[in-house]
Homo-oligomer: A and B are copies of this chain.
Amino acid sequence: MEKRSKDEAVIRRIRMQKEMARHGMEGCLVTQNVGLYYFTGSMQTGYLFIPKTGEPTYYVRRSLARALEESDVRTVELGAFRQFGAKLAEDYPEVFGRKPALIGADLDVMPAQLYLRLTEAVPQASWMDASAALRVVRSVKSAYEIDKISQAAEVADAALREGLSSLREGMTELELMAVIENSMRRAGHIGLMRMRGYNQEIMTGVVAAGEAAAEPSYFDGPAGGRGLSPAAPLSSSKRPIMRDEPILIDIGCCIDGYTIDQTRTAVIGELSEELLHAYETSEAIVRRTEALLKPGARPDQLYFEALNMAAEAGLSSHFMGFGGDQVRFLGHGIGLEIDEWPALAKGFSEPLEPGTVVAVEPKFTFPGIGVVGLENTYVVTETGCRALTKSPETLFCL
């Protein structure tokens, strides 16, 4: 099994410590499986404590044996949870010597019950939300990470080809999705694309056609699809795919923890003038975004530019969902999770740095008719950007 370099853990921790200093944190506790993996190389159950300076410790509940084998940082047994505060004070007297120590934690994902237990078990800490700091650090990827996302892109491309070659009129959305998922799974897709947002679930994306693709959705994306039932209201349904309707193939996979996300539009037959116009506007927005995507560019400006282009094309109310169900972004960071930072959205004004990876996904929704669009994943380079997505960028007409 390919393993990342031990240096990754050191570099990431130092970057986090810089971010912690900016926020005045004296330490940071990471509790989420994905965060643990990012900093240690293992996602066994436990807690990682990162002090403001010096080395972190991974306190493991289960399995300690496996964590010891995988982790690149100091790794010890957690022991009794109620003694955790005493253990931290013993290991990090310079942090917990005076109270209260301002400690960050991943409060956007940590359950409230655990948070309340932590406030009791570690009474010498005063807690703050470290999720923004954690997300900023993770937004810039290492060469190892970019390589992993590229590997996932290869798998997604092969799955798209397999899906398209099996696509037939009358086949259900679910049948098409099952072909794509099976291709990805055999190639090592872990089975889901991890998503940070509460109550958000996505396995391999959204494959949906015609009006089913255009149904409003709880999903924090431009098109969620109808899904199988109110108990699984996302992605593919059992609706047959028909001629002359747009087929949205928004897929991704997760290889060794790293995720790709891409969208292509297909049709058996042809699309109406209206849909072709929207599809071409997606292409134009992708081209324009590629031209602007470079170090120093502001994520929010990329979104505003796309909004302008949608407006100029007369498609404002169809852009990124329809009417009241529109989402307010053009794209999103991606890596260990599918909803990483930065979002290409209002509120994200920090200039982009080399190594940042974003999925750009201009889409247009026509209620009762369908969704058309494109999505590519890019890494920001020293001078511009490079597509990580491998699939040919075209409207697939069968």
Contact = CB atoms under 8 A, between A and B. Distances in A.
Nearest to A224: B63
A233 B65 CA distance: 13
Given A43-B233, A107-B112, A111-B108, A191 B203 contact: yes
B198 A203 contact: no
A198 B107 contact: no
Given A131-B113, A238-B188, A41 B230 contact: yes
Interface in A54-76: 62-66, 70
Contacts of A114: 112, 198
A185 interface: yes
A256 B233 contact: no
Interface in A1-58: 1-3, 31-33, 37, 41-45
A201 interface: yes
Nearest to A45: B218
A373 interface: no
A43 B231 contact: yes
Contacts of A1: 229-230
Interface in A109-126: 109-116
Contacts of A266: none
Nearest to A336: B231
Most buried by B among A62, A110, A114: A62
20 contacts: A2-B229, A43-B218, A45-B218, A62-B217, A63-B216, A63-B217, A64-B324, A66-B216, A66-B217, A105-B112, A107-B113, A109-B111, A112-B115, A181-B182, A191-B192, A192-B192, A192-B201, A229-B256, A230-B257, A232-B256
